[in-house]
Amino acid sequence: MQDRYQQIKTEAELSELLVQPDEELRRIVFQNLNFEDVRDIALKHLYRECLFLSCRLPMGLKRQSRDCLFLPNMGEMFGFPNHLYSPEELYDGFNPEQPDSYDNCYDGRVYRHYLKKGKYVTDFKETLARTLHDHSVSDCLRDYLSRFDEHKLVGVMGGHGLSRLETAYIQVVRLSKHLTESGFLMITGGGPGAMEATHLGAWMAGRSEEELQQALSMLSVAPHYTDPLWLSSAWEVHNRFPALGYESLGVPTWLYGHEPSTPFATHIAKYFDNSIREDGILTISKGGVIYTPGSAGTLQEIFQEAVQNHYLTFGYASPMVFMGGPRRNGRSPPEDA
């Protein structure tokens, strides 16, 4: 008997599975798939102990199933993704020329729903839907990270309020660009400030100093994430300088939905539950963590990582690198400090 579940997440994987001669399909997870397009061949099989998560099923398939679990889309603004978000998916419906259009994009609609239902809810249907969404994201995240050498996974922690004009911001951009070009995958909480600087550096990997300066100049019109053109200027750079094949991972949360997710992260694992997300960033950054100027949140992350290293939670201690010195009145100290 098959002990582990096989996961089928793409239309290509589904088609390949269904053409197999085995009449009975057992212990398979079908995630966010449309069986209507392969109706005839799908109905030729029997399904045993399978899970159907947010799938469109043809009439009659359930009659050919035994001991299966069916979890439909629960009617919320969000579903159960079978891959990590891309910035294009997260911001589908956003027009950089109309900053207010954020409310109409996917991310904006989910955030409004999240606020309407409440950040902390007791409604069973809502909590179940959010949990299943986050479980799906975690599953996709594991699949994505399996492609990389764990010693090449580097996290960057730091303040969301870091201005695009500050020296520390530009230093993070350059450091991230260099590390990305050297084969490291850069990981952050996926928001503004030091997080955006990390992903901007990864996004500009492979490009010239002149192009990097152009990008920084374009972003300078909106130094802080609270500026109306912060997101629009990021998308202008995104579109002006398409990625050259390098990747980076952002792990944001709708708990801090007022801080826009950076579109410079090529892969985005966005969660509802911040505790899963926050611990996860430090857990997966086994190649080391770089701490940039920040505040209370960054301080908390320092101690979290120190505990993991002290107990050798993953069999070894990961490097902890600290950039810069103490911030003065919200700004980085002089370079000669």
Residue 292 CA to residue 181 CA, distance in Å, equals: 20
Domain 149-322: CATH architecture, name and number where available = 3-Layer(aba) Sandwich (3.40)
Tokens representing 223?
């130094």
Nearest to 166 by CA among 289, 328, 331: 331
pLDDT at 298: 85
Question: Which residue is associated with the tokens 């990590």?
Answer: 84
Tokens representing 299?
């301080």
The ranges assigned to domains in the chain are 6-71, 149-322
Q: Across residues 87-114, what is the average pLDDT?
A: 96
Question: Which residue is associated with the tokens 């084969």?
Answer: 183
Q: Across residues 110-117, what is the average pLDDT?
A: 95
Segment holding 284, helix H or strand E: helix 274-284
pLDDT value at 332 more than 50: no
What does pTM read for this prediction? 0.91
Residue 15 CA to residue 229 CA, distance in Å, equals: 44
Q: Across residues 21-41, what is the average pLDDT?
A: 95
CA distances from 97 to 36, 222, 229, 232, 236 (A): 38, 14, 9, 7, 9
pLDDT value at 157 more than 50: yes
Return the bridge partners of 156, or none: 290
Give how far the C-alpha of residue 226 lies from the chain's centroid of Cα atoms, to the nearest Å. Answer: 21
Contacts of 219 (CB under 8 A, 6+ apart): 164, 200, 233, 234, 237
Q: Across residues 302-330, what is the average pLDDT?
A: 82
Average pLDDT, whole number, for the chain? Answer: 92
**Using the 8-state DSSP alphabet, how is residue 52 labeled?**
E
Nearest to 96 by CA among 219, 252, 251: 219
pLDDT in tens, 166-221: 999 999 999 999 999 999 999 999 999 999 999 999 999 999 999 999 999 999 99
**How is 137-203 classified by DSSP, letter by letter?**
HHHHHHHHHTTS-GGGEEEEE--TT--TTSHHHHHHHHHHHHHHHTTPEEEE-SSSTHHHHHHHHHH
Nearest to 192 by CA among 323, 105, 98, 294: 294
